[in-house]
Amino acid sequence: MEMPLPPLNPHSPSEPVEAPPARQDTPSAAPPVHRFTPCTEPFRWEGVPVTAYQSTPATAADFAGITRQTLFGHGGETIGFEVRYFEIAPGGWSSLECHEHAHAVIGLRGVGKVLLGDTVQTLGFLDLAYIGANCVHRLVNDGPTPFGFLCIVDAKRDRPRRLRPADVPELLDNPALAPLIQRAAVQTTPCPE
Protein backbone atom coordinates (compact mmCIF):
# COMPACT_ATOMS: atom_id res chain seq x y z
CA MET A 1 0.00 0.00 0.00
CA GLU A 2 1.33 3.36 -1.01
CA MET A 3 1.02 6.12 1.52
CA PRO A 4 2.42 9.61 1.19
CA LEU A 5 4.97 10.53 3.82
CA PRO A 6 4.04 13.37 6.11
CA PRO A 7 5.81 16.67 5.61
CA LEU A 8 8.98 16.81 7.65
CA ASN A 9 8.95 19.22 10.55
CA PRO A 10 5.98 21.17 9.29
CA HIS A 11 6.24 23.45 12.30
CA SER A 12 9.91 23.31 13.11
CA PRO A 13 11.19 25.67 15.81
CA SER A 14 12.64 28.95 14.71
CA GLU A 15 16.09 27.87 15.80
CA PRO A 16 16.39 24.19 14.85
CA VAL A 17 19.29 22.34 16.35
CA GLU A 18 21.25 19.44 14.92
CA ALA A 19 21.51 16.45 17.20
CA PRO A 20 25.10 15.94 18.36
CA PRO A 21 26.89 13.27 16.27
CA ALA A 22 27.90 11.36 19.39
CA ARG A 23 24.30 10.28 19.88
CA GLN A 24 24.31 8.48 16.53
CA ASP A 25 20.96 9.87 15.52
CA THR A 26 19.99 9.65 11.90
CA PRO A 27 21.01 12.75 9.98
CA SER A 28 18.40 15.41 9.39
CA ALA A 29 18.47 19.00 8.24
CA ALA A 30 16.45 20.31 11.14
CA PRO A 31 15.19 17.78 13.67
CA PRO A 32 12.57 19.29 15.97
CA VAL A 33 14.59 18.42 19.04
CA HIS A 34 16.18 20.83 21.50
CA ARG A 35 18.83 19.24 23.67
CA PHE A 36 18.99 20.02 27.34
CA THR A 37 22.46 21.24 28.35
CA PRO A 38 22.89 20.07 31.93
CA CYS A 39 26.12 21.90 32.67
CA THR A 40 24.88 25.46 32.25
CA GLU A 41 23.29 27.99 34.57
CA PRO A 42 20.41 28.54 34.60
CA PHE A 43 19.12 25.28 33.10
CA ARG A 44 19.32 25.81 29.35
CA TRP A 45 18.40 24.15 26.09
CA GLU A 46 20.16 24.41 22.75
CA GLY A 47 18.39 26.98 20.63
CA VAL A 48 16.10 28.21 23.39
CA PRO A 49 16.88 31.76 24.49
CA VAL A 50 16.81 32.92 28.10
CA THR A 51 14.46 35.87 28.25
CA ALA A 52 13.33 38.42 30.78
CA TYR A 53 10.70 37.18 33.19
CA GLN A 54 8.35 40.10 32.67
CA SER A 55 8.66 43.67 31.56
CA THR A 56 10.39 46.08 33.89
CA PRO A 57 8.92 45.95 37.37
CA ALA A 58 7.05 48.94 38.68
CA THR A 59 9.03 48.67 41.90
CA ALA A 60 12.22 46.80 42.75
CA ALA A 61 10.27 44.42 44.99
CA ASP A 62 7.80 43.24 42.34
CA PHE A 63 10.00 40.32 41.31
CA ALA A 64 13.68 39.39 41.57
CA GLY A 65 16.20 36.87 40.30
CA ILE A 66 13.89 35.06 37.88
CA THR A 67 14.38 34.07 34.24
CA ARG A 68 12.06 32.60 31.62
CA GLN A 69 12.65 30.17 28.77
CA THR A 70 9.78 29.25 26.49
CA LEU A 71 10.35 25.58 25.59
CA PHE A 72 7.28 25.15 23.36
CA GLY A 73 4.88 27.66 21.90
CA HIS A 74 7.00 30.43 20.42
CA GLY A 75 8.34 28.53 17.39
CA GLY A 76 5.25 28.32 15.22
CA GLU A 77 4.05 25.07 16.78
CA THR A 78 0.40 24.18 16.18
CA ILE A 79 -0.47 23.93 19.87
CA GLY A 80 -2.87 25.90 22.01
CA PHE A 81 -0.54 26.12 25.01
CA GLU A 82 2.91 27.33 26.03
CA VAL A 83 5.46 25.41 28.08
CA ARG A 84 7.75 27.76 29.95
CA TYR A 85 10.69 27.03 32.26
CA PHE A 86 11.24 29.56 35.02
CA GLU A 87 14.27 29.58 37.25
CA ILE A 88 14.48 31.58 40.44
CA ALA A 89 17.93 32.27 41.85
CA PRO A 90 18.52 31.91 45.60
CA GLY A 91 16.72 34.78 47.33
CA GLY A 92 14.47 35.55 44.35
CA TRP A 93 10.71 35.55 43.78
CA SER A 94 8.07 35.86 41.09
CA SER A 95 5.32 38.46 40.88
CA LEU A 96 2.45 38.43 43.36
CA GLU A 97 -0.47 38.16 41.01
CA CYS A 98 -3.76 36.64 40.06
CA HIS A 99 -5.58 36.13 36.80
CA GLU A 100 -8.37 34.18 35.19
CA HIS A 101 -6.15 31.65 33.47
CA ALA A 102 -4.73 28.67 35.35
CA HIS A 103 -1.15 27.45 35.71
CA ALA A 104 0.06 23.86 35.65
CA VAL A 105 3.36 23.86 37.55
CA ILE A 106 5.93 21.04 37.78
CA GLY A 107 9.05 21.35 39.93
CA LEU A 108 12.25 20.50 38.07
CA ARG A 109 15.17 21.84 40.06
CA GLY A 110 15.78 22.60 43.73
CA VAL A 111 13.01 23.36 46.18
CA GLY A 112 10.83 26.44 46.35
CA LYS A 113 7.76 27.78 48.07
CA VAL A 114 4.47 28.49 46.39
CA LEU A 115 1.94 30.89 47.83
CA LEU A 116 -1.41 29.49 46.70
CA GLY A 117 -4.33 31.50 47.96
CA ASP A 118 -4.08 31.27 51.77
CA THR A 119 -1.65 28.35 51.81
CA VAL A 120 2.07 27.88 51.37
CA GLN A 121 3.32 24.72 49.70
CA THR A 122 6.84 23.53 49.13
CA LEU A 123 7.59 22.36 45.61
CA GLY A 124 10.41 19.94 44.85
CA PHE A 125 11.45 17.76 41.93
CA LEU A 126 8.41 16.69 39.90
CA ASP A 127 5.91 17.89 42.49
CA LEU A 128 2.78 19.24 40.82
CA ALA A 129 0.96 22.44 41.70
CA TYR A 130 -2.26 23.60 40.10
CA ILE A 131 -2.83 27.33 40.36
CA GLY A 132 -6.50 27.76 39.64
CA ALA A 133 -8.38 30.70 38.20
CA ASN A 134 -8.12 33.90 40.25
CA CYS A 135 -5.92 32.29 42.88
CA VAL A 136 -3.42 34.75 44.37
CA HIS A 137 0.04 33.23 43.93
CA ARG A 138 3.78 33.80 44.08
CA LEU A 139 6.78 31.48 43.86
CA VAL A 140 9.75 32.10 46.12
CA ASN A 141 13.23 30.65 46.45
CA ASP A 142 14.46 30.97 50.01
CA GLY A 143 16.90 28.09 49.58
CA PRO A 144 20.60 28.01 48.72
CA THR A 145 20.28 26.57 45.20
CA PRO A 146 18.34 27.53 42.06
CA PHE A 147 14.64 26.68 42.03
CA GLY A 148 13.36 25.78 38.57
CA PHE A 149 9.94 24.72 37.39
CA LEU A 150 7.83 24.20 34.31
CA CYS A 151 4.73 26.38 34.04
CA ILE A 152 2.25 25.44 31.34
CA VAL A 153 -0.52 27.81 30.32
CA ASP A 154 -3.09 28.25 27.60
CA ALA A 155 -1.64 30.31 24.75
CA LYS A 156 -4.77 32.46 24.71
CA ARG A 157 -5.09 33.92 28.19
CA ASP A 158 -5.78 37.09 30.12
CA ARG A 159 -3.01 39.35 31.37
CA PRO A 160 -1.90 38.80 34.98
CA ARG A 161 -3.03 41.38 37.51
CA ARG A 162 -0.05 42.28 39.66
CA LEU A 163 -0.84 42.76 43.33
CA ARG A 164 0.79 44.75 46.08
CA PRO A 165 0.84 43.69 49.73
CA ALA A 166 -1.81 46.30 50.48
CA ASP A 167 -4.14 44.52 48.05
CA VAL A 168 -4.22 41.35 50.17
CA PRO A 169 -4.56 42.46 53.82
CA GLU A 170 -6.18 39.15 54.77
CA LEU A 171 -3.10 37.27 53.66
CA LEU A 172 -0.73 39.71 55.34
CA ASP A 173 -2.43 38.98 58.65
CA ASN A 174 -1.28 35.37 58.41
CA PRO A 175 2.28 35.11 59.78
CA ALA A 176 2.96 32.08 57.59
CA LEU A 177 2.10 34.03 54.45
CA ALA A 178 3.36 37.53 55.22
CA PRO A 179 7.06 36.77 54.48
CA LEU A 180 6.14 35.59 51.02
CA ILE A 181 4.06 38.69 50.33
CA GLN A 182 6.31 41.39 51.72
CA ARG A 183 9.56 40.88 49.87
CA ALA A 184 12.41 43.31 50.38
CA ALA A 185 14.27 44.46 47.30
CA VAL A 186 17.39 42.52 48.30
CA GLN A 187 20.24 41.39 46.12
CA THR A 188 19.69 37.89 44.78
CA THR A 189 22.46 35.49 43.89
CA PRO A 190 22.34 35.29 40.12
CA CYS A 191 23.49 32.17 38.37
CA PRO A 192 26.76 32.77 36.48
CA GLU A 193 26.49 33.35 32.75
Taking CB under 8 A as the criterion, which residues in 103-162 touch a second copy? 104, 106-108, 114, 116-136, 150, 152-154, 156
15, 28, 41, 51: which one contacts a second copy (CB under 8 A)?
A: 28
CB burial class (10 A; 0-12, 13-18, 19+) of residue 187? exposed
Site for a second copy in 73-92 (CB under 8 A): 75, 77-81, 83
Site for a second copy in 49-78 (CB under 8 A): 71-72, 75, 77-78
Residue 118 CA, distance from chain mean position: 22
Q: Could you tell me which residues come within 8 angstroms of residue 43 by beta carbon, excluding any fewer than 6 positions away?
A: 36, 69, 85, 87, 108, 109, 146, 148
For a second copy, how many residues bind (rule: CB under 8 A)?
81
Annotated catalytic, 151?
A: yes
Task: Please report which helix (H) or strand (E) contains residue 156, including its range.
Answer: none
64, 98, 139, 151: which one contacts a second copy (CB under 8 A)?
A: 98
Three-class DSSP category at 82: strand
Interaction of residue 178 with a second copy, rule CB under 8 A: no
Comparing CB distances to a second copy, the nearer of 2 and 56 is 2
